[in-house]
């Protein structure tokens, strides 16, 4: 099966290459894909997609957000969601003014790329939300998160800490191994779920007030960026009703569906996701 999908991806790349040689067309320069992970994960979660995109001659950067992956910061030092997103802002600021990237966010990473779209719209050719949180100018981030929380099922072995005391709201969250294998990675190879359970890092739980204050999106800036949403067909975290509501409230320019994938699209269907990202680089 691996070889079949690899062959399909190579055929897609060959078609793109041949089209670039058609008389009257010019060969496009390599694209730069910037990949942003979801909650409790890190840049490592893109390990299957990075080499597939690079095989097409493209540049790829997978980032660790604050306190994630191998980032040295500790979660309790990240006082606001802007502290969490800061590595992405710093990276975007470091890009040459003339460079445009394909900005991809997974799950909670959608909040990070949304803030980047507002701050650096001129540096983004297209923003891709991979079964990700997608606020907008008329869809406030706090409303989005509250809706997502209401639609949650049993937390199973997910872990919360209460650093402000047991009578206060929880302060950090970490996925548990059982929840990962049965809800997040249920269609992914078991070794990926096992890897994830070893690499989880807690994420700070920010208040709705903090997120609404730090992520303010405008039609002029955020709305000027091409935006695509990728739906994961068998996602048990971001479920069909929630995703449909989010798309209706904040319609993207385009949406695509990856069939047979779980919440970790890059793990369960890496070839299909990579092929989609290559196609979306047309923007």
Selecting among 107, 181, 193, 232, the annotated active-site residue is 107
* The one catalytic residue among 64, 71, 192, 235: 235
235 in catalytic set: yes
Kindly state the helix (H) or strand (E) to which residue 26 belongs, with its residue range: none
Which one of 32, 58, 106, 263 is the catalytic residue?
Answer: 263
- Our answer to whether residue 107 is catalytic in this structure is yes
Q: HEC states along 111-167?
A: HHHHHHHHHCHHHEEEEEEECCCCCECCECHHHHHHHHHHCCCCCCCCEEECCCCCC
Which parts of the chain fold into alpha helices (H)? Answer: 2-20, 49-54, 81-94, 109-119, 141-150, 177-179, 190-199, 208-214, 240-249, 265-268, 270-280
Active-site amino acid positions: 107, 235, 263
């Amino acid at each position: 099966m691996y070889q079949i999908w690899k062959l399909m991806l190579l055929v897609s790349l060959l078609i793109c290459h041949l089209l670039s040689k058609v008389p009257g067309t010019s060969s496009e320069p390599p694209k730069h894909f910037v990949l942003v992970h979801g909650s409790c994960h890190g840049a490592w979660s893109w390990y299957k997609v990075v080499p597939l995109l690079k095989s097409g001659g493209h540049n790829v950067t997978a980032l660790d957000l604050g306190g994630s992956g191998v980032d040295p910061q500790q979660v309790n030092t990240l006082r606001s969601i802007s502290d969490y997103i800061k590595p992405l802002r710093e990276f975007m600021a470091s890009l040459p003014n003339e460079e445009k990237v394909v900005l991809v966010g997974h799950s909670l990473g959608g909040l990070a790329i949304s803030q980047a779209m507002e701050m650096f719209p001129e540096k983004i050719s297209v923003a891709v939300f991979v079964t990700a949180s997608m606020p907008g100018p008329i869809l406030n981030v706090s409303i989005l998160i509250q809706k997502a929380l209401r639609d949650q099922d049993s937390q199973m072995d997910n872990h919360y800490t209460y650093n402000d005391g047991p009578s206060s709201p929880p302060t950090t969250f970490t996925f548990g191994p059982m929840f990962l294998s049965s809800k997040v990675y249920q269609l992914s190879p078991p070794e990926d779920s096992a890897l994830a359970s070893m690499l989880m890092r807690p994420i700070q739980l920010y208040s709705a007030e903090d997120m609404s204050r730090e992520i303010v999106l405008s039609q002029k800036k955020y709305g000027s960026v091409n935006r695509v949403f990728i739906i994961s067909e068998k996602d048990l975290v971001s479920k069909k009703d929630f995703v449909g509501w989010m798309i209706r409230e904040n319609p993207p320019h385009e949406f695509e569906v990856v069939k047979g994938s779980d919440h970790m699209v890059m793990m369960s269907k890496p070839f299909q996701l990579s092929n989609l990202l290559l196609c979306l680089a047309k923007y």
